[in-house]
Each structure stands twice: as C-alpha cells, then as structure tokens.
A = this chain, B = another copy of it.
C-alpha cells in the first residue's frame, strides 16, 4: 500500500498548493496563505475525525502538517511554476480527491459505521477542506455552484462500498473506485459538464 501512501501525501501537497492560490487571489498575507493551505489540505479529514470521534489524523501523524507546510512554501516560492504546471496539478488534485474519498470511507467503515454514513464521511473528507477554504475566503463554496466534483466522489464511494460488500480484494477495489472519481471529474471538467442549478422548472 506504499503507492497509496505516496499518492495521499501528494494529494495533501497539491491541495495545499491550491489553497495558497485561493489565498493569493484574495490578497491575503503569508500567514493567511499558510492557514488556507492547511484547511484546504487537512480540513476535510479533520471534520471527519471530529464527527467519528477519532484522534485527528494530522495530530497523530505529524508528517501531514509538514507536507502541507511544504506545499505552502513551494507555492509561495514558485508562483510562476505553479501557474505553468496547472494541468499536472489538476490531475493530482483529481487523484487526491479520489483517494481522500476512499480513505475517509475506509476509516468510517473501520469505525463500524454503515455504508450510507461512511459514504457521507468519505465525501466530507474529500470536499470539506475546499468548503472551509471558500468560507474563509468569503465565497460561496465552489462545489455547490460549478462542478461535477462531489458527484464524482459519491459515485466512487458507492462503487467502493459495493466492492467492499462483495469482499472484492481491497487494492483492486481502491484502484477501481479512485479511478472512477478521477475519471468522472476529469471528464466533467474536460467536457464542461456541470450539475443543474435548482430553479422553478427543473
């Protein structure tokens, strides 16, 4: 499972970079940038751990703090590079979302929660970092407005749950469900597909 661990670290790093970008667009200072980077990268897992009453992941495994800090410093130092490699970052961001969903889902299942609650907790893990980032930046959260994002997480979480129920081999299950999340999200952004807006004539 070393590959998963490494991808998880990369996901945290990339989320931190995207947090700094959001902070920069709001003309925040360096401290604000680090905080936004932290909540983007670690906020979703923190909310999940508070809800399931687990020790907070980054407080137990402090390497996450340093990876998020590293992502912030990287984004501060190489602002131009970050803009150039935006597409590669998007790919890692999409992989991160998939992994965060499944890691949150697995943790909730491990804590004895039923699949429906575990799916919600998986989606919270992947999305609430961005939600808190947008609240701190005084925006309506992006995922409520524009993108197939949470929907991709839900799809991947449901597929993992079905695989888990039928005792599919775990590594294979993670691979399939993560690829589902990453694939749907990448496809949606590429094709500019978005969720319908609520209105009087659905």
Task: Report A's interface with B, CB cutoff 8 A.
Answer: 20, 23-24, 26-33, 35-36, 46, 50-53, 55-56, 59, 62, 65, 76-77, 79-80, 113-114, 116-117, 120, 131, 135-141, 143-146, 150-151, 194-200, 202
Known: A77-B202, A140-B137. A31 touches B65 (CB 8 A): no
Known: A144-B28, A145-B29. A198 touches B136 (CB 8 A): no
Known: A55-B53, A120-B65. A202 touches B32 (CB 8 A): no
Tell me which residues across on chain B come within 8 A of A59, comparing CB atoms.
51-52, 113, 117
B65, B79, B198, B199: the one contacting A117 at CB < 8 Å is: B65
CB of A98 to closest CB in B, whole Å? 17
Q: Judging by beta carbons under 8 Å apart, are B117 and A31 in contact?
A: no
Per the bound structure, the CA–CA distance linking A151 and B179 in Å amounts to: 41
Known: A145-B28, A195-B30. A79 touches B140 (CB 8 A): no
Tell me which residues across on chain B come within 8 A of A65, comparing CB atoms.
116-117, 120
Tell me which residues across on chain B come within 8 A of A143, comparing CB atoms.
31-32
Q: Judging by beta carbons under 8 Å apart, are B116 and A62 in contact?
A: yes
